Structure 1
Amino acid sequence: MYDFLIAPFADFAFMRSALYGSLALALSSCPVGVFLMLRRMSLTGDAMAHAILPGAATGFLLFGLQIVPMTIGGLIAGVVVALGAGAVSRFTIQKEDASMAAFYLISLALGVLMVSVRGSSVDLMHVLFGTVLALNNDALTLIGVITAITLFTLAIFWRALVAECLDPLFLRSVSRFGTPVHFIFLALVVLNLVGGFQALGTLLSVGLMMLPAAAARFWTVRLEPMIALAILIGAVSCVAGLLISYHFSLPSGPAIILSAGVIYLASIVAGTRGILNSRVRHHRHRTA
Structure 2
Amino acid sequence: MYEFLIAPFVDYVFLQRALAGSIMLCLSSGPVGVFLMLRRMSLTGDALAHGILPGAAVAFLFFGLDLAPMTLGGLIAGLLLALLAGAVSRLTLQKEDASLAAFYLISLSAGVLIVSMHGSNIDLMHILFGTVLALNDQALMLIAGIFVLSTVGLALFWRGLVAECLDPLFFRSVSRLGTPIHFAFLFLVVLNLVGGFQALGTLLSVGLMMLPAASARFWVNRVGPMCALAVAFGMVSSVAGLLLSYHAALPTGPAIILFCGAIYALSILGAPRGILLTHLRRTRPHRAA
TM-score (ref. length: structure 1): 0.99
Q: CA deviation at 1:170?
A: 1.6
- 1:23 paired residue number: 23
Alignment partners' CA distance in 1, 2:165 and 2:275? 26
- 1:256 paired residue number: 256
Deviation track 1:232-255 (CA, whole Å, cap 9, x = no partner) reads 000000000000000000000000
Q: Letter of the 2:284 partner, please give it.
A: R
Deviation track 1:217-245 (CA, whole Å, cap 9, x = no partner) reads 11111111111110000000000000000
Deviation track 1:174-205 (CA, whole Å, cap 9, x = no partner) reads 11111000001111110000000000000000
Q: CA deviation at 1:171?
A: 1.5
After TM superposition, the structure 1 = structure 2 runs for residues 182-201 of structure 1, keeping only pairs within 5 Å, are 182-201=182-201
Q: CA deviation at 1:78?
A: 0.3
Deviation track 1:57-78 (CA, whole Å, cap 9, x = no partner) reads 0111111111110000000000
Larger deviation, residues 170-179 vs 77-86 = 170-179
- 1:67 paired residue number: 67
Q: CA deviation at 1:261?
A: 0.4
Alignment partners' CA distance in 1, 2:276 and 2:12? 42
After TM superposition, the structure 1 = structure 2 runs for residues 98-247 of structure 1, keeping only pairs within 5 Å, are 98-247=98-247
5+ long unaligned stretches in structure 2? none
- How many residue pairs are counted as aligned between the two chains? 288
Alignment partners' CA distance in 2, 1:7 and 1:244? 13
Q: CA deviation at 1:41?
A: 0.7
5+ long unaligned stretches in structure 1? none
Alignment partners' CA distance in 2, 1:169 and 1:62? 45
Alignment partners' CA distance in 1, 2:285 and 2:158? 37
Q: CA deviation at 1:169?
A: 1.9
Q: CA deviation at 1:172?
A: 1.5
Q: Letter of the 2:100 partner, please give it.
A: M
Q: CA deviation at 1:111?
A: 0.4
Deviation track 1:243-277 (CA, whole Å, cap 9, x = no partner) reads 00000000000000000000100110110111111
1:235 partner SS: helix
- 2:43 paired residue number: 43
Alignment partners' CA distance in 2, 1:63 and 1:168? 43
Alignment partners' CA distance in 1, 2:64 and 2:145? 23
Alignment partners' CA distance in 2, 1:262 and 1:268? 10
Q: CA RMSD in A?
A: 0.7
TM-score (ref. length: structure 2): 0.99
Q: CA deviation at 1:162?
A: 0.5
Q: Letter of the 2:173 partner, please give it.
A: S
Alignment partners' CA distance in 2, 1:279 and 1:111? 45
Alignment partners' CA distance in 2, 1:95 and 1:271? 34
Q: Letter of the 1:237 partner, please give it.
A: S
Q: CA deviation at 1:287?
A: 2.7
Q: Which portions of structure 1, spanning 4 or more consecutive aligned residues, are displaced by more than 3 angstroms?
A: none
2:225 partner SS: helix
Q: Letter of the 1:285 partner, please give it.
A: P
Alignment partners' CA distance in 1, 2:87 and 2:169? 18
Alignment partners' CA distance in 2, 1:61 and 1:228? 39
Percent of aligned pairs sharing the same letter: 69
Q: Letter of the 1:175 partner, please give it.
A: S
1:52 partner SS: helix
Alignment partners' CA distance in 1, 2:114 and 2:94? 28
1:230 partner SS: helix
Alignment partners' CA distance in 1, 2:180 and 2:169? 13
Deviation track 1:89-111 (CA, whole Å, cap 9, x = no partner) reads 01110000000101111100000
Q: CA deviation at 1:285?
A: 2.4
1:254 partner SS: helix
